[in-house]
Amino acid sequence: MLYRELGRTGFKVSEISFGAWAIGGSWGTVSDGESLAALHQAIDSGVNFLDTADVYGMGRSERLIAQLKKDRKEEIVVATKAGRKLSPHTVDGYTAENLTGFVEESLRNLQTECLDLVQLHCPPTDAYYRAEVFGALDDLVQAGKIRYYGVSVQRVEEALKAIEFPNVQSVQIIFNCFRTRPAELFFAQAQERKVGILARVPLASGMLTGKLNRNSQFAEDDHRTFNRHGERFDQGETFSGVDYDTALAAVEEIRKLVSPGVSMSQFALRWILMFDAVTCAIPGGKRPEQVAENCAASDLPALPAETMQALRSVYDTYIRKSVHTRW
Ligand SMILES: NC(=O)c1ccc[n+]([C@@H]2O[C@H](COP(=O)([O-])OP(=O)(O)OC[C@H]3O[C@@H](n4cnc5c(N)ncnc54)[C@H](OP(=O)(O)O)[C@@H]3O)[C@@H](O)[C@H]2O)c1
């Protein structure tokens, strides 16, 4: 496993890290035993950075991580998120009082005195025009409740606006073979300001693993059933916002580019690591085998220029029209 600097925080984090949404909920039934095994596998594979949120299973994901931290002696950096408990989820809810309440609850769930990194959890775009939201986060740093803060965004424009706030240390954004626009303008600006980038949904919700087909079934409580068209939250979070059949067709083209002995998941993750501006990819994993497979992407050699070009063509042919200007 190789490690990269996370912005100006001084943390050196595994370039393949771990996304802990699925072990909390919204991805069908998961057992805490298997989720803990997946977390342990991540640490065994060299992962030292975990991304979670207060709303993943309403604290379940954070509590599993607290359990893991009790069981392991390695240093583990935990990024959590705040804001999505607001109902309705409006910018006016991002007050100092509410943010402090969310942070206090995450401190309890994670059984710690100070949170390593707190990210605003895809707030409405207007939050990036309210300096007082970031002022409230500065106060939480001053109070010793959080070490650093960052944002998780839906759109490139939100990312560009967020990094104007000098204490934003990280931006989490969807970046994968089906979502390439962040690399155009945002990556260079983030690098210039030394802001870390967490590439989320790196496998397009499992689509880029190459295991799905037209007959794949998902549980009722899996967002790949209930949010396929953006019914519950932003459509971009499910299959990266790409129409299911179009995504399957693109995956068949990508499959032809993958070298023998490499899995499609590893190939998709290695593509992300080709971008120096990215601090880490945070693939979700529900089972230890998935986690071990994904982590091995860090050991692969760089992808050749012609493969990168071929992936660009797949994107241009199948994906660009429906996603490029949307996020
Ligand atoms: N708004 C936000 O801030 C936000 C939104 C989304 C995600 N995130 C973060 O980003 C992380 C990653 O995104 P994601 O979990 O949505 O999507 P993802 O990483 O693209 O896909 C994860 C899913 O793919 C399947 N999978 C993973 N590795 C596999 C392998 N090697 N072989 C076969 N299947 C595999 C698993 O589901 P199955 O086994 O069920 O197929 C897994 O749950 C999240 O966990 C979360 O931490 C944040």
Question: 210, 179, 175: which is closest to 282 by C-alpha?
Answer: 175
Please tell me the residue having the least CA distance from ligand 1 atom 32: 290
Question: 279, 254, 143: which is closest to 199 by C-alpha?
Answer: 279
Please tell me the residue having the least CA distance from ligand 1 atom 19: 283
Task: Tell whether ligand 1 has an atom less than 6 A from the beta carbon of residue 123.
Answer: no
Spatial distance between the Cα atoms of 91 and 318, rounded to a whole number of angstroms: 35
Pocket test for ligand 1, best of 16, 21, 213 (most atoms within 8 A of CB): 21
Task: Tell whether ligand 1 has an atom less than 6 A from the beta carbon of residue 57.
Answer: no
- C-alpha distances in Å from residue 247, one per residue of 156, 212, 253, 256, 308: 22, 10, 10, 15, 18
Q: What is the whole-number distance in angstroms between the Cα of residue 325 and the centre of ligand 1?
A: 23
Indicate which atom in ligand 1 lies nearest the CA of residue 81: 3
Looking at 72-171, list the stretches that DSSP marks H as alpha helix, in order from N- to C-terminal side. Answer: 96-110, 131-142, 156-162
What is the pTM assigned to this prediction?
Answer: 0.98
Q: What is the pLDDT along the chain (327 residues), one digit of tens a residue?
A: 999 999 999 999 999 999 999 999 999 999 999 999 999 999 999 999 999 999 999 999 999 999 999 999 999 999 999 999 999 999 999 999 999 999 999 999 999 999 999 999 999 999 999 999 999 999 999 999 999 999 999 999 999 999 999 999 999 999 999 999 999 999 999 999 999 999 999 999 999 999 999 999 999 999 999 999 999 999 999 999 999 999 999 999 999 999 999 999 999 999 999 999 999 999 999 999 999 999 999 999 999 999 999 999 999 999 999 999 999
Pocket test for ligand 1, best of 85, 158, 200, 262 (most atoms within 8 A of CB): 200
Q: What is the whole-number distance in angstroms between the Cα of residue 23 and the centre of ligand 1?
A: 10
Please tell me the residue having the least CA distance from ligand 1 atom 15: 284
